[in-house]
Structure 1
Amino acid sequence: MSGLTVGHLARRNARKHPEQEATVHRSDGQRVAASTYAEFESRVNRVANGLRNLGVDAGDTVALYMKNNVETLECFVGAMVIGARPVPVNHRFKGQEVSYVLDDSGPEVAIVDAFGADTISEIHDDPIVPVETFLYVGEDPPAFARSYERFLEGVSDDAVDIVPDRQDQAALMYTSGTTGRPKGCRFTHDNLLSLAADGVYEGDYLEPGNRHLIVTPLFHVGAFVPFITNLSVGGTTIVTDGFDPERVLGLLEEESINSSYFVPTQSRMLLSVEGVEEYDLSALESYGTGAAPSGAELKREIMDTFDTNLVESFGQTEALATRLPPEQTLEKADSVGRPALSLQMKVVDEDGNRLPSGEVGRAAYKGPTVFDGYHNMPEKTDEVFDDGWFVSDDLIKRDDEGFVYFVGRADDMIVSGGENVHPAEVEEVIHEHPAVNEVAVVGVPDDTWGERVKAVVVPEDDAADLEPDEIVSHVDERIAGYKKPRSVEFRSELPRNPTGKVLKSELA
Structure 2
Amino acid sequence: MGGQTVGHLVRRNAWKHPDREATVHRSGGQRVAESTYAEFERRVNRVANGLADLGVEAGDTVALYMKNNVETLECFVGAMILGARPVPVNHRFKGQEVRYVLDDSGPEVAVVDGFGADTVEEIHDDPLVPVETFLYVGEDPPAFADSYEAFLESASDDAVDVVPDRSDQAALMYTSGTTGRPKGCRFTHDNLLTLAADGVYEGDHLEPGNRHLIVTPLFHVGAFVPFITNLYAGGTTVVTDGFDPERVLTLLEEESINSTYFVPTQSRMLLSVDDVDEYDLSALESYGTGAAPSGAELKRELIETFETDLVESFGQTEALATRLPPERTLEKAESVGRPALSLRMKVVDENGNRVPRGEIGRAAYKGPTVFDGYHDMPEKTDEAFDEDGWFVSDDLIRRDEEGFVYFVGRADDMIVSGGENVHPAEVEEVIHEHPDVDEVAVVGVPDETWGERVKAVVVPGADATDLDAEEVASHVEERIAGYKTPREIEFRSELPRNPTGKVLKSELA
Task: Give the conservation status (yes or no) of the 8 Å contact 1:203–1:326.
Answer: no
| d(CA) in 1 for partners of 2:108, 2:423 | 44
Q: Which amino acid aligns with 1:98?
A: V
Once the two structures are superposed, residues 144-165 of structure 1 have per-residue CA deviations (whole angstroms, 9 ceiling, x without a partner) of 0000001111111000010000
Is 1:281–2:270 an aligned residue pair? no
Is 1:102–2:77 an aligned residue pair? no
Task: Give the conservation status (yes or no) of the 8 Å contact 1:110–1:133.
Answer: yes
Once the two structures are superposed, residues 212-262 of structure 1 have per-residue CA deviations (whole angstroms, 9 ceiling, x without a partner) of 000000000000000000000100000000000000000000000000000
| d(CA) in 1 for partners of 2:317, 2:343 | 15
Task: Give the conservation status (yes or no) of the 8 Å contact 1:205–1:285.
Answer: no
Aligned to 2:291: 291
| d(CA) in 1 for partners of 2:324, 2:433 | 20
Aligned to 1:84: 84
Deviation at 1:202, TM superposition (A): 1.5
| d(CA) in 1 for partners of 2:236, 2:324 | 25
| d(CA) in 2 for partners of 1:472, 1:159 | 65
Secondary structure (helix, strand or coil) at the match of 1:115 reads coil
| d(CA) in 2 for partners of 1:431, 1:210 | 35
| d(CA) in 1 for partners of 2:216, 2:188 | 22
Once the two structures are superposed, residues 264-287 of structure 1 have per-residue CA deviations (whole angstroms, 9 ceiling, x without a partner) of 000000000010011000000000
Deviation at 1:319, TM superposition (A): 0.1
For structure 2, the residue ranges without an aligned partner over 5 or more in a row are: none
Aligned to 1:231: 231
Aligned to 2:136: 136
Q: How does 1:11-410 map to 2 (within 5 A)?
A: 11-386=11-386, 387-410=388-411
Q: What's the TM-score once normalised by structure 2's chain length?
A: 0.99
| d(CA) in 2 for partners of 1:310, 1:205 | 12
| d(CA) in 1 for partners of 2:258, 2:174 | 29
Aligned to 1:497: 498
Deviation at 1:203, TM superposition (A): 2.9
| d(CA) in 1 for partners of 2:156, 2:71 | 17
Q: Which amino acid aligns with 1:494?
A: L
| d(CA) in 2 for partners of 1:282, 1:50 | 42
Is 1:417–2:418 an aligned residue pair? yes
Q: Which amino acid aligns with 1:3?
A: G
Q: Which amino acid aligns with 1:203?
A: G
Deviation at 1:302, TM superposition (A): 0.2
Task: Give the conservation status (yes or no) of the 8 Å contact 1:361–1:395.
Answer: yes
| d(CA) in 1 for partners of 2:258, 2:465 | 38
Q: Which amino acid aligns with 1:278?
A: E
Once the two structures are superposed, residues 282-339 of structure 1 have per-residue CA deviations (whole angstroms, 9 ceiling, x without a partner) of 0000000000000000000000000000000000000000000111111001100000
Deviation at 1:170, TM superposition (A): 0.1
Deviation at 1:201, TM superposition (A): 1.4
Q: Which amino acid aligns with 1:381?
A: T
For structure 1, the residue ranges without an aligned partner over 5 or more in a row are: none
| d(CA) in 1 for partners of 2:471, 2:201 | 45
| d(CA) in 1 for partners of 2:416, 2:195 | 36
| d(CA) in 2 for partners of 1:484, 1:405 | 21
Q: What's the TM-score once normalised by structure 1's chain length?
A: 1.00
| d(CA) in 2 for partners of 1:130, 1:213 | 34
Paired residue total = 508
Deviation at 1:205, TM superposition (A): 2.5
Secondary structure (helix, strand or coil) at the match of 1:202 reads helix
| d(CA) in 2 for partners of 1:201, 1:321 | 15
Secondary structure (helix, strand or coil) at the match of 2:23 reads strand
| d(CA) in 2 for partners of 1:239, 1:460 | 31
Secondary structure (helix, strand or coil) at the match of 2:116 reads helix
Deviation at 1:465, TM superposition (A): 1.5
Q: Which amino acid aligns with 1:325?
A: P
Secondary structure (helix, strand or coil) at the match of 2:265 reads helix
Secondary structure (helix, strand or coil) at the match of 2:305 reads helix
Deviation at 1:409, TM superposition (A): 0.3
Deviation at 1:464, TM superposition (A): 2.1
